[in-house]
Amino acid sequence: MSDLTDTANVIIRPPIAWALAVFAGLALQWVVSLPFMPASVPAGWVGGMVFVLALALVAWAIVTITRAGSNVPTSMPTTTIVQTGPYRFTRNPIYLGMFLGLVGLAIAFDSLWLPGTLVPFALVIRYGVVAREEAYLERKFGDAYRHYRAHVRRWL
């Protein structure tokens, strides 16, 4: 079991929050279909491409943070501030990839419910995960994190 004093102590593991958002959106779509894509758009292909791009971003971020010697799971301590790879452009590439993946699924399944679940998911990630991570990183790394935060945007 990890030491909660050296973690961000987030309210929910992000992959679990993402899976809940996807499940809720697909369940609602099954109950009441709310399509939004024009019939002329190959929604499955377009959504699939967006989803693959999201997966690529998440994979790139995970590989980058792992190669830097830090931990990906929020339940484990962060060992370093990673500033390479996608972390040069956004402080939260994994969560950005999760948002993009949800959008890709919404397009692929032609479901207006999925972007609807994006709002509560984004709020949980922003306030229940990212805010706690940022406070933890500032406590742990001080000026190094403040410098990184001043030069790299939270999202884009």
Residue numbers of the domain that contains 106: 37-151
Domain assignment present for 54? yes
Indicate the SS3 state at residue 57.
helix
d(CA 45, CA 20): 24
What is the pLDDT at residue 5?
78
Say whether pLDDT at 3 is over 80: no
Q: How many structural domains compose the chain?
A: 1
Domain assignment present for 121? yes
Domain assignment present for 156? no
Domain assignment present for 17? no
Question: Rounded to 5, what percent of the chain is helix, strand, coil?
Answer: 65, 0, 35
Say whether pLDDT at 2 is over 80: no
What's the residue count for the chain? 156
What is the pLDDT at residue 1?
42
Q: Give tens-digit pLDDT for 64-99.
A: 999 999 999 999 999 999 999 999 999 999 999 999
Whole-model pTM: value is 0.93
Let me know: does 93 contact 81? Beta carbons within 8 Å.
no
Domain assignment present for 116? yes
Domain assignment present for 18? no
Domain assignment present for 105? yes
Give residue for tokens 């959106």: 25
Domain assignment present for 6? no
